[in-house]
Every structure is written in structure tokens, then in C-alpha cells.
Structure 1
Amino acid sequence: MERIMLGDVEIIRVMEWQGPFAPARAIVPGLAPEAWQAERDWLAPDHWDPAADQYVAALQTWIVRSEGRTVLVDTGVGDDRERPDTPQFHRLRSDLPARLAAAGVRPEDVDVVVNTHLHVDHVGWNTEERDGEWVPLFPRATYYVPAADRAHAERTQPLMFADSVAPVLRAGQAVLWEDTVRIDAQLTLEAAPGHTPGSSVLRLDSGGERAVFVGDILHSPVQFRAPECSSCFCEDPAAAAVTRRRILERAADTKQLVIPAHFGGAGAAEVHRDGERFAVTRWGGF
């Protein structure tokens, strides 16, 4: 397991899956192919395979230990899920619970689950199948679910909603929130719409050190150089671009470590302003 300390908060990175996902130009459709080539030296090989022109993605869950509680940020794809629209995730077998156990986290140890938004690769291990029924995997946890995504996801992603979100709602373990919600004195959830209606970020502030878990506000570090370009998965690309710039400006100005959901390699970066763009000051410690 890869881990760092920020102030009094421990962060552990647990990888579910990593590999080539799709042509780079399809992932960030507003970005010219030569823009990837211009950043080749630091995009390859962790974020882009130039020989195949493939975007390289990582799926990961973050364990955050804060104020004596265990928080999970996003829960990946899950095992044996019907995901016919995404071949890489269809009936995937990753056994993330075993990987969490290797980091010292059993399902009953988890106090809080944060779903930064309701897409298939962020909610899958919310649940497990038991006796033919989907039930919450983390029996003691409070699940923070963006209210703005609830009805939208049920309508647009019925398979995902049925196996990964509805069981948590039925169990009474979900908090449907909007705007801003404080998890504890060091962790705050904030709305960051655009990627989905309820897309959010989790801010960490402890002992003078800061980080922001940005979910899918960023898919690739190439977007540091072109923050106006949204991914093909953003449901409102214009709003996502506004949100992305706002999040990155604040991160640059306050030295927040930016922790996206899908970065491989170091997994996180500290950034600074470079005119209208952003540049990596240093890669994170994962």
C-alpha cells in the first residue's frame, strides 16, 4: 500500500485497476492531438501510451484516517457488475475488499464512504451480493451521496443505481447532501458540478497541510495545461470547465495537493499557475 501523512490525517491509496482505456483524443475531445505530444515527456508512460495513442487510466479508492475514523473516498467498479456499456468494467474481478484488508481495513471498520459522484467507477463497492441480493458492503458506514445525482443516476444509469446505490438508500445508510457538508474538523465536502449534476470534491485541511480529492474534475494531467477542455464523460462540459479552473486556481493559491480519481503514477500533484494554464510543481507522495 502507498500512504502519506498530511498533518494529522493518513491517506492510503488502494488500486483497483490500471491500464490503457481508450484513444487519448476521445477522452479529451476538445484537445488537439499535438497537445498530447507537446507534453509527452511527463505524460508517458503513466498517463498516456504514445505508441498506441491510448489514455492510461487508474481506478483507485482512498482510505483517509481522520479524527479516529476511517473514511473511504470512492469505491471503484465492484466485482461481477453488469456494465455492458464499458467493456473494461463489465463483470470485472478486482477483489478490492482483500486489498483494503491488506491495508488494515475490514468492511466493519469503515465509518464513512464518500461517493464524489454517481458514476459506475465510483460506487461499485458500495455494495456486495449476498444470498442473491445487493446489500451495503460497509455495515456501519454513513454513505455521503450527492443529492443532485440521485434522481439523475437512477434515470440515466439504472443498472448501476440498482446494484450500487439503491441498496444503500434502502438500508437507511445514505446522507443525501448538497452545497457543503462538514465530515469532521479536517474534511469538508463541496459541490463541484459539471462532470455530473452533483459532482463534488473533498477538501482536507490539517496542521497547515492541504489536499483536495477532485474525483473526475480531472481525468488526465494534460488538463492542467488545457483546463478549458473537459473529458468526454462530463455531462455538462462548459460547467465542468468552469469548475475545473476554480478548483485548480484555489489549489495553486493555497498549495493544496490535487488528488484525482484516475491518475496513475504518483497519483497526485501540487500545481502552480502558469499564465492561464497550470503546471506541476511536484508530484505527490504516492
Structure 2
Amino acid sequence: MDTEFEHLTLGDVEIIKVVEVRGPFGAPGDLFPGIEDAWQEGRDWLAPRFRDADSGAVLAAVQAWVVRSEGRTIVVDPGVGNGRERPGTPHFSGLDTDFPERLARAGVRPEDVDLVVNTHVHGDHVGWNTRAEGDGWVPTFPNATYLVPRADHDFFGPGGAAETPHDHHRLLFSDSVAPVVEAGQAVLWDGGSHRIDGRLTLEPAPGHTPGSSVLRLASGTDRAVFVGDLLHSPAQFLAPTCSSAMCVDPAESAASRQRVLERACDERELVIPAHFPGPGAAEIRRAGAGFAVHRWRL
């Protein structure tokens, strides 16, 4: 399997996974308080693909999804970006990756992108919204409309509730969100849902951030849901009530996760999280108080 990008076709929609970075992201107990029982329950299959067998660290990836639907090219959650100052997440600071070249090798030039979807405003989901130019930042995708949840724009933006406790939120907003808003390329969506086209719809799934959303795909008989950071590890299939330490409202995040995963089971939606390394999507079924992977895809 190609470790750089992988393809999947669902109905009339093409999906390409393009990896930016991959590796250990921290100890399970630090990232997911209370999840150790699930790690033990799934130890036979979580390691070595999702947990380092020697150090015990959670293995994760930052990756974007290219979605081709109804003649448009869409980039979902465009990663960390290069040259960012991220004091709250030092492993994302000062990156210098060849992600634009990887997109090009996947057949995507910046000027070809019609739409960028930020499922939420965190540094590893909005970074390549922009690129450095001179002393500032400009939109990476000059012809694209950027869909940003209004609730996150207001929360992370100037004067928002996130600004005071975490200066790194101010930094990511100023270098990765504000420039696309100032360029007139952003659409701040809110309400119950936002229809992109006849196959793709954004729906709220708050908790990880106030504006966290999922992207639903329905084409022919195929169904999928891009869940963003509702899941950071497949251990959360086993323990869906365990939210990550990065969640603004862990209880609300758990409720959103449960609701989305139950619907995925009922409607046979392929679950596509943002950060799973290796196998990046899963068909799931109910199993006791949680969920089990029926089959890995992508």
C-alpha cells in the first residue's frame, strides 16, 4: 500500500488521502484520560499499527483528504503547514515538509482546488489554508472557497473565549484563518447543516471545539462520514465515552461521538477519522458498550 497517498472511490466520489506527518504523538493516558482499559482490551490489534509496541506511545498521522465530487476538487482539513509557531504543540512548530509537492503528485495543484473544508479550527486542520509570502500569510489555494464553522471562528478569533488561556490559539488564527477571511475567500457557516453539493453535507458535531463538524458523503449506495477529531485513535471505538485531552467540552464531544458512530452503524457509513495512521477508514458495528471494526478501508 502506498504510504504517501491512497485512493478510494465511493459511488461517483473519489477520495485521496495525502499524509503530511506521521509518528508518535504521546502517551495514551495523557492524550485520552481514562482510556487505559480500552488499550488493554485492544492490545492485540492496536499495536503496532496504532500504538508503538516498545514505548507505548499513540501513533497518529496528520493528513488531508482530497475529495472530487460533481466536477470540483475539495481539500478537507489541510494539516499543520510549514513555518508555524505553535507553543502549545511544539511537535507542530517549525515544520518544513513537502506537503504541497505531495498534493501535486496526487494530481492537485493549488489553483485547481475549488473548496477547502475545515472540520474545526485547530492548528493541524487549518495550517495549509495559507502559505508564507513576504512577511505575512496568503491563501494557499487562490481560487478556493474556505468553509469554516462560525462557532469556531468566533471562539478562536480576537476576543473569543479561547484567546485568553491559550496564546497559541491566537497564533493559529492569525496565520491560518484570518488571512482567508481577509481575502474574502471564507464562508462562515452555522445552523443545522451546510450542503456542499448533492453528495456532500457538513453537519455540527460539537465538543472537541464549539464548531466541530462532520462531513457526510452519500453517493449511490455508498455512505461515509469524515469525523475530524471526534476520534484520534481506534481505541475510542472500544471506549466512545473517552474524549481526548484536547476537547473543549469532553462530555459534549462524547455525546457527539456516540451519536455519529451509532448512525454510522445504522446507515453503514464508512468512518473516516483525521488522524488514524495506516488504515485510515473503518466499517464499524456495535459491540457491547462500544463499537468494533468490521473491516478496514483506505
TM-score past 0.5 threshold: yes
Give the Cα–Cα distance (whole angstroms) in 2 for the partners of residues 83 and 40 of structure 1: 32
Partner of 1:15: 19
Q: Which amino acid aligns with 2:141?
A: F
Partner of 2:234: 221
Task: Give the SS at the match of 1:94.
Answer: coil
**CA displacement 1:214-247 (0-9 Å, x = unmatched):** 0000011000011011011111000000000000
Residue 83 (str. 1) matches residue 86 (str. 2):
yes
**CA displacement 1:9-61 (0-9 Å, x = unmatched):** 00000000000010111111022x34312201111112111321201110000
RMSD: 0.9
- Preserved contact between residue 40 and residue 50 of structure 1 (Cα < 8 Å): no
Task: Give the SS at the match of 1:189.
Answer: strand
Residue 261 (str. 1) matches residue 262 (str. 2):
no
Structure 1 consecutive aligned stretches of length 4 or more whose deviation exceeds 2 Å:
none
Counterpart among 183, 187, 207 of residue 175 in structure 1: 187
CA-CA distance at 1:152 after TM superposition: 1.1
Q: Which amino acid aligns with 1:7?
A: G
CA-CA distance at 1:96 after TM superposition: 1.2
Residue 122 (str. 1) matches residue 125 (str. 2):
yes
The alignment-based identity, stated in percent, is: 61
Partner of 1:6: 10
CA-CA distance at 1:84 after TM superposition: 1.7
Partner of 1:197: 210
Task: Give the SS at the match of 1:279.
Answer: strand
Q: Which amino acid aligns with 2:250?
A: P
Residue 158 (str. 1) matches residue 158 (str. 2):
no
Give the Cα–Cα distance (whole angstroms) in 2 for the partners of residues 180 and 35 of structure 1: 33
**CA displacement 1:172-206 (0-9 Å, x = unmatched):** 10010012000000000001000000000000000
CA-CA distance at 1:89 after TM superposition: 0.5
Task: Give the SS at the match of 2:262.
Answer: helix
Give the Cα–Cα distance (whole angstroms) in 1 for the partners of residues 155 and 37 of structure 2: 36
Task: Give the SS at the match of 1:259.
Answer: strand
Change (3 A) 1:257 1:137: same
Gaps of 5+ in 1: none
Counterpart among 29, 40, 44 of residue 43 in structure 2: 40
TM-score by length of 2: 0.94
Counterpart among 131, 135, 153 of residue 132 in structure 1: 135
Deviates further, 122-131 or 146-155: 146-155
- Preserved contact between residue 11 and residue 63 of structure 1 (Cα < 8 Å): yes
Partner of 2:165: none
Q: Which amino acid aligns with 2:171?
A: L
Partner of 1:29: 33
Q: Which amino acid aligns with 1:78?
A: G
Task: Give the SS at the match of 1:105.
Answer: coil
**CA displacement 1:87-121 (0-9 Å, x = unmatched):** 21010111211110000100000000000000000
**CA displacement 1:117-163 (0-9 Å, x = unmatched):** 00000000000111222010101100000000012112431000000
Give the Cα–Cα distance (whole angstroms) in 1 for the partners of residues 196 and 99 of structure 2: 24
Deviates further, 41-50 or 170-179: 41-50
Give the Cα–Cα distance (whole angstroms) in 2 for the partners of residues 271 and 174 of structure 1: 34
Residue 275 (str. 1) matches residue 278 (str. 2):
no
Counterpart among 239, 253, 257 of residue 252 in structure 2: 239
Give the Cα–Cα distance (whole angstroms) in 1 for the partners of residues 27 and 279 of structure 2: 22
